[in-house]
């Protein structure tokens, strides 16, 4: 049944139109700012913040917002400047697998915004003819729009763009359309990229919280200990007294083979209950793929040829794998 047929059928049964809250219509992942695997506060330009969102400005902080949010949405991003004269933005690259579905079509980009300085919102869409171009790669601007916002509540703003037929990757750039004052804040959430010339009600790309998490984990996955010596989904063996070989299975198949790994406070426990801190780890490129990773960890004092499991020393210990754009 098509989307139009489904909507029509529900209208007939209920006597009125219904909001098309459909999984899959939104091609912007984590537009509701639900997922924050890397943490909930960041600063500076060129870093990932809320999952899939890349920061665009120095002298700026990006933080999870839970109290100042639109009705019906749980989270927003609060972007605050520490100097006058910054128009903060965030970016997301839409990879080729999704972007080519918009080639030659009109699309609508929308979101909810408010600002302490009541500056206009910036809505910009770029495209690249390069497959799976990185968020900082070479793009051509399709266009930009700066609808008004308010300091007293959220305003839903939107803009339409004609995507060139040769577009292979898209980049969403959104944020404040003018400079904020020192300490000024811009709030944003409910970001949606969809086909057509009408901004329909916001839906998560994954339909549910779990679906959105799985979409985010396709680009980046972080396992967090959660407890003193919590398990981190990895196991292996000691092949020398100072080297551990560990394999980790990702919870979802990743977009591509991870290009980097980040970690904190990792330890291994051997079959005799000995605990050994890992001072460094190195991905084994010949084995690591889109379903799991293998890495060598450096430590000291182990007994060779013992079974090991990967743990975190403390509740905030973690290991993360990135295949993000």
Q: Are 106 and 160 in contact (CB under 8 A)?
A: yes
Burial class (CB in 10 A: 0-12, 13-18, 19+), 221: buried
- Residues near 84 by beta carbon (within 8 Å), at least 6 away in sequence: 179, 180, 181, 182
**What is the pLDDT at residue 149?**
87
Distance separating alpha carbons of residues 206 and 219, to the nearest angstrom: 14
Give φ, ψ of 257 to 5 degrees: -60, 125
- Chain-centroid distance, C-alpha 211: 13
Beta bridge partners of 170: 94, 127
In what helix (H) or strand (E) does residue 211 lie, and over which residues does it extend? helix 209-217
**What is the pLDDT at residue 23?**
58
Residue 62 tokens read as 């990006």
Beta bridge partners of 281: 297
Tens digit of each residue's pLDDT, the chain (325 residues): 344 333 333 333 333 334 545 657 999 999 999 999 999 999 999 999 999 999 999 999 999 999 999 999 999 999 999 999 999 999 999 999 999 999 999 999 999 999 999 899 999 999 999 999 998 889 999 999 999 988 889 999 999 999 999 999 999 999 999 999 999 999 999 999 999 999 999 999 999 999 999 999 999 999 999 999 999 999 999 999 999 999 999 999 999 999 899 999 999 999 999 999 999 999 999 999 999 999 999 999 999 999 999 999 999 999 999 999 9
Beta-carbon count within 10 A of 85 CB = 10
User: What is the second-level CATH architecture of the domain 3-217?
Assistant: Sandwich (2.60)
Buried b (16+ CB within 10 A) or exposed e, 227-249: eebbebebbbbbeeeeebbbbbe
**What is the pLDDT at residue 265?**
97
Distance separating alpha carbons of residues 218 and 112, to the nearest angstrom: 26
Q: What is the pTM of this model?
A: 0.90
In what helix (H) or strand (E) does residue 142 lie, and over which residues does it extend? strand 140-145
Closest by CA to 157, choosing from 123, 195, 201, 106, is: 123
**Alpha-carbon dihedral 153, 199, 54, 126, rounded to 10 degrees:** -130
**Alpha-carbon dihedral 208, 209, 215, 218, rounded to 10 degrees:** -140
Q: Are 55 and 174 in contact (CB under 8 A)?
A: no
Instruction: Give the residue extent of every domain in the chain.
Output: 3-217, 221-322
**What is the pLDDT at residue 22?**
60
CA-to-CA separations, 220 to 27, 50, 252, in angstroms, rounded: 17, 11, 10
């Amino acid at each position: 049944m098509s989307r139009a047929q489904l909507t029509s059928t529900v209208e007939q049964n209920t006597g009125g139109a219904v909001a098309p809250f459909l999984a899959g219509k939104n091609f912007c992942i984590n537009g509701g700012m639900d997922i924050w695997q890397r943490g909930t506060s960041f600063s500076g330009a060129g870093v990932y913040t809320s999952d899939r969102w890349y920061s665009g400005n120095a002298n700026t902080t990006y933080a999870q917002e839970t109290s100042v949010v639109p009705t019906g949405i749980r989270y927003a991003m609060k972007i605050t400047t520490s100097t006058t004269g910054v128009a903060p933005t965030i970016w997301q690259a839409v990879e080729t697998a999704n972007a080519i579905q918009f080639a030659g079509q009109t699309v609508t980009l929308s979101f909810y915004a408010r600002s302490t300085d009541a500056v206009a919102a910036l809505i910009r869409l770029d495209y690249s003819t390069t497959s799976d171009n990185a968020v900082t790669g070479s793009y051509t601007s399709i266009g930009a729009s700066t609808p008004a916002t308010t300091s007293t509540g959220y305003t839903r703003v939107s803009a339409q763009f004609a995507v060139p037929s040769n577009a292979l990757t898209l980049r969403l750039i959104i944020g404040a359309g003018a400079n904020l004052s020192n300490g000024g804040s811009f709030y944003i959430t409910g970001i949606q990229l969809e086909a057509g010339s009408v901004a329909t009600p916001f839906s998560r790309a994954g339909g549910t919280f779990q679906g959105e998490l799985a979409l985010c984990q396709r680009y980046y996955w972080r396992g967090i200990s959660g407890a003193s010596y919590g398990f981190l989904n990895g196991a292996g063996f000691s092949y020398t007294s100072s080297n551990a070989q560990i394999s980790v299975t990702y919870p979802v198949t990743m977009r591509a083979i991870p290009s980097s790994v980040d970690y904190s406070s990792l330890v291994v426990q051997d079959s005799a209950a000995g605990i050994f801190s890992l001072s460094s780890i190195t991905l084994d490129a010949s084995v690591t793929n889109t379903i799991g990773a293998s890495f060598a960890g450096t430590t000291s004092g182990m007994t060779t040829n013992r079974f090991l499991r990967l743990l975190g020393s403390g509740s905030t210990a973690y290991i993360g794998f990135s295949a993000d754009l």
